[in-house]
Amino acid sequence: MSNSHQNILFVFPGQGSQYLGMGQDLCGEYATARRVYEQANDVLGFDLTGLCLNGPEEELNLTRFTQPALLTHHIACLEVFRELSGGKVTAAMAAGHSLGEYSALVAAGALSFESALQLVQRRGELMGEHGEGEMTAFPLDIDTIRPIAERFHCAVAGCNLPEQTVIGGSADDLEQVEAAVAEEFPRKRAVRLKTEGAFHTYYMVTAARHYRGILAAGDFAEPGIRVLSNFTGGFHENDADSIRSRLFFQLFHPVMWHANLQAALGEGIDAIYEFGGGIGPGEPEAKRPNLEGMIKKAMRGTDFEVSYYAAINRQTIEAATV
């Protein structure tokens, strides 16, 4: 752990980074993590701990369960990190990819863990209930893929990198987009994502309309640090109503993740810590960070010098706080 960093960004991944056994290593070692999971069980009204640790996996992958599960793992990792670092590593700003934006708001003090859990529980339920369609990631820039997608009634769902754009639409429409791209760009391989719907597109409008009232009743405070907005690509304003509106629009507009990273880099960040989730096979200790690849690609070829630290399981958290 280095105390030399002055401008730190905390980041939190979104759906797709969940896995069976998530949190098992932390809960087995740290009472702090167990308390976070126990609080989640109480707030949600079901045994989230058991679902995360024992499954069934197909249930964990349902949006209504995935979102509170990931939020809980994010915060468990963050709280253990804070405990082990003795509070010496503090962020100047926070960001999250899609669902992860709620964890960033918790880290910033704009939402309590309990309030965030209540929000994402309903968010996940509504997205699963009212959402339709699927999603595909293309290694193409937005100006290239957007007209092809729109030709087949699909929409941009996320701008992760200059040449990584996610598209959402019906399964049949996405097949036509994939075929058109394969014909025009035979070396560009599309990847169909495992989601319950075309998140962050017009397919989520009904869910967003139902969610608006839930957001209005949510208990928001002024964030203690700056938080990036997926919807605008820049920083949230400090007032609660503005944050609510950005979270409302986030549901059916593209996640501007690359713009978020560019905004943070433009503010001179010198270190990034990623909390929670994990990808790849194996037990928790074998998982890889979800956002690391995108973050490092975003910095490639730039003059920015930023240190990166994973804090996604017991081993990485302990390494990051030595």
Tell me the residue length of the chain.
Answer: 322
Percentage of residues in the chain with pLDDT exceeding 70?
Answer: 98
d(C-alpha 221, C-alpha 84), whole Å = 27
Question: Which pLDDT score, from 0 to 100, does residue 315 have?
Answer: 97
CATH no. for 134-193: 3.30.70.250
Q: Amino acid letter at 76?
A: A
Q: What 8-state DSSP symbol labels residue 279?
A: B
Pick the CATH number of 8-130+201-320 from 1.20.120.1200, 3.40.50.2300, 3.40.366.10, 3.10.105.10: 3.40.366.10
Q: Any residues with CB less than 8 A from the CB of 263 and at least 6 apart, and which?
A: 228, 233, 234, 235
> Which value, to the nearest 10 degrees, does the dihedral of the CA atoms of residues 69, 73, 76, 79 take?
-120
Question: Which pLDDT score, from 0 to 100, does residue 150 have?
Answer: 98
| Secondary structure element (H or E) that encloses residue 39, with its range | helix 31-44
> Which value, to the nearest 10 degrees, does the dihedral of the CA atoms of residues 300, 225, 123, 133 take?
-20
What phi, psi does 310 have (nearest 5°)? -90, 140
Question: Which pLDDT score, from 0 to 100, does residue 300 have?
Answer: 84
Angle in degrees, 0-180, between the axes of helices 100-107 and 113-130, rounded to the nearest 10: 170
Catalytic residue among 97, 200, 236, 253: 200
Which of 135-144, 255-264, 299-308 is predicted with the least confidence, judged by mean pLDDT?
A: 299-308
pLDDT digits (tens, 9 = 90+) for 134-158: 999 999 999 999 999 999 999 999 9
Residues of the chain with CATH 3.30.70.250: 134-193
pLDDT digits (tens, 9 = 90+) for 193-222: 988 899 999 999 999 999 999 999 999 999
Question: Which pLDDT score, from 0 to 100, does residue 305 have?
Answer: 87
Question: Helix count (H) and strand count (E) of the chain?
Answer: 14, 9
Q: What is the pTM of this model?
A: 0.96
Does residue 200 carry a catalytic annotation?
yes
d(C-alpha 181, C-alpha 302), whole Å = 29
Residues of the chain with CATH 3.40.366.10: 8-130+201-320
What phi, psi does 97 have (nearest 5°)? -90, 110
Token code pair at residue 221: 């405070």
Catalytic residue among 17, 98, 103, 229: 98
d(C-alpha 104, C-alpha 225), whole Å = 10
